[in-house]
Chain A
Amino acid sequence: MMDRVDKKLRVESSRATVRKLGMDFIALLVALIFLFPLYWILISSFKTDVEIFDKNISFWPRNFSFSPWVTQLNDNDFLFSLRNSLIIAASNMVLSTVLGCTAAYGLARFKTPGKRVIILVFLVTQMMPGSLLLTPLYLMFTKAGLLNSFPAPVMAIATGSIPFIVVIMRPFFLSLPKSLDEAARIDGCNAFTSFTRIMLPIARVGLVTCMVFCFLHGWNDLLYSMTFNVKTAMRPLTANIYKFMDKYGTKWNQIMAYGAILVIPVLVIFVGLQKYIIGGLTSGAVKE
């Protein structure tokens, strides 16, 4: 009897292994197809100016060249731009997460009056195309003397990040059980400390996701930073894209190198926080 059960278990476990291997294979296929463009951006950045325009496409550089990377990194403004990108991205992350999470929490856990209107306001403010917010925001920042500064682009970018966080985090906060609230009150917390000491740590997972989103939003911004900050010293990395699209034609290898450089810091942060983002996501926020 035990033998038969044993055998059944073993068959089942090997079936499970085969299934898992099958899924691994499919995953690999999906990854290959989906990530091919990333491969392309990488190897294109190592091609020479001439090879880029060759009609016979090479899947591996014929003349491996570091020159596009050298050009990028040698750029006088590179370090400045890097610093600016970091500042803008980090500031947006802080500003948007703080404002967005508190708002999401308020909407989810309390009988806030006018909830519908408030959510509508958040949604509605998302609905103006960025290119048309440009001129009025520009006029506002001019009057406030904020041109060529960091607050200007950060504040503009945050108008896009905050509603996003509200819409994403609200269902998250809604799903936290009321029992947590009561337990916190019993422990002597008021609404605010209950938020910071109990809820936030539990929502840590979603929080990190939001922070990553906001950081990226700021890091990837082009239009606002470019428009409000004209001084090269105040511009982020994204604004340099126009250097490679001038009247000497589009230099694809330079652009690909530039794109790769823009993504690398993001990848580094992402890999470092992967534990939180990916690991945390599957363990769920609710621990019964």
Chain B
Amino acid sequence: MQKLLMRKRDQLTGLVFVLPAILYMLVLMVYPLVYNFILSFRNLTVMNFKNNAAVFIGFENYLNIFRDKDFQQALLQTLWFTLACITVQFSIGFVLAVFFNAKFHLAKPVRGMMLVAWMMPISVTGLLFKYMFLTEGGVINELLKVFGLMFGSPPGWLIDPKLAMWAVIITNCWIGIPFNMLLLTTGMSNISADIYESAAIDGCTVFQKFFLITVPMLKASILSVLMLGFIYTFKVFDLIFMMTKGGPLNATEVVSTYSYRQSFTLFNFSVGSASAIILFVCLMTVGVFYLRMIQKDEAM
């Protein structure tokens, strides 16, 4: 009986700690979700806005969106962008985290300085890289020339549909690598050095230490880094909007820029909402998957 009371008390205390944040989020986010949800089932545009003449059209918006070639392209590109960025950011971030974890003179200062990339406002970073990627007058092409890596005419990073996505991916990785590195470092600091020492005594190699100690003990951190990274990258908007606005020729169009354009440039409000809901549903699926994974680890 005592145990049951204690358990109930434990649960209640936990709830008290969590309640403020949850209530806050629910109050602020439920209305936007519901608003967009309802709007996506109507056909609100600039023409019927004033007279409130928009009608319920069921799933028609969704069907039209999925049939729209531009959207299909945007969705595929969002996936490609996200996967490419996460892979690069995570692997390089991990390597750097391990590297800078070692004890040498420049470890701490350099690691610290690299964080500045992540601290800059994305709008500024976007503009900076837009300036650096200019075909003529951009420093990246200049550097390629100087180092003899230029074959033929200077690549039009932001005007060639085949290259634009790479330019954006590179920029996003530049921002994301320090972030990944930092979070993995935080996780690594929780691993006691004793474990490594006893492993060394047992005769483990560097690789064994990495894969048998570091990775498993970092599992929680790795999962949260990957999950957060996925959500933020999938949602990317500011960066692409500043650099290319989704161009050239939709080569860098992602679901969020498609959505924005529908709502704010073309005044197809309902279509904009519907495409945002689609983005949301995609992320939900991944989120549920993440939950399954962490559930296995911790006794929930």
Query: Measuring CB to CB, which residues of chain A are less than 8 angstroms from any residue of chain B?
Result: 19-21, 23-24, 26-28, 30-31, 34-35, 37-38, 40-41, 44, 53-55, 57, 99-100, 102-103, 105-107, 109-113, 115-116, 118-133, 135-137, 139-140, 155-156, 158-159, 162-164, 166-168, 170-172, 174-175, 191, 195, 205-206, 209, 216, 219-220, 222-223, 238, 241, 250, 252, 255-256, 258-259, 262-263, 266-267, 270, 274, 277-286, 288
Contacts and interface: CB of A to CB of B under 8 A. Distances in A.
B26 A121 contact: yes
Given A31-B110, A118-B22, A129-B259, A259 B120 contact: yes
Nearest to B187: A171
A259 B127 contact: yes
B136 to A, nearest CB: 6
Contacts of B122: 220, 222
Given A24-B104, A28-B110, A107-B18, A37 B263 contact: no
Nearest to B281: A127
- Interface of chain A, main secondary structure: helix
B10 interface: yes
Nearest to A215: B119
B190 A285 contact: yes
A278 B112 contact: yes
Contacts of B158: none
Given A30-B110, A220-B121, A263-B120, A128 B132 contact: no
A188 B97 CA distance: 40
Nearest to A267: B116
A222 B123 contact: yes
B113 A128 contact: no
Contacts of B24: 99, 158-159, 162
Contacts of B183: 168
Nearest to A107: B18
B14 A127 contact: no
Interface string B244-288: 000000000001100110011000000011001001100110011
B35 A262 contact: no
B231 interface: yes
10 contacts: A37-B129, A102-B21, A116-B291, A119-B291, A123-B287, A125-B25, A127-B231, A127-B287, A220-B119, A282-B108
B117 A127 contact: no
B102 interface: yes
A130 B221 CA distance: 25
Given A127-B235, A159-B25, A262-B121, 8 more contacts: A34-B117, A41-B124, A57-B139, A119-B291, A132-B272, A137-B28, A241-B123, A284-B190
B18 A23 contact: no
B14 A111 contact: yes
B290 interface: yes
A135 B263 contact: yes
B260 A216 contact: no
Nearest to A239: B123
Contacts of B151: none
B172 interface: no
B104 A20 contact: yes
A168 B225 CA distance: 8
A286 B190 contact: yes
A182 B107 CA distance: 37
Given A127-B287, A171-B221, A209-B186, A28 B21 contact: no
Interface string B179-208: 000110111011110100000000000000
A181 to B, nearest CB: 11
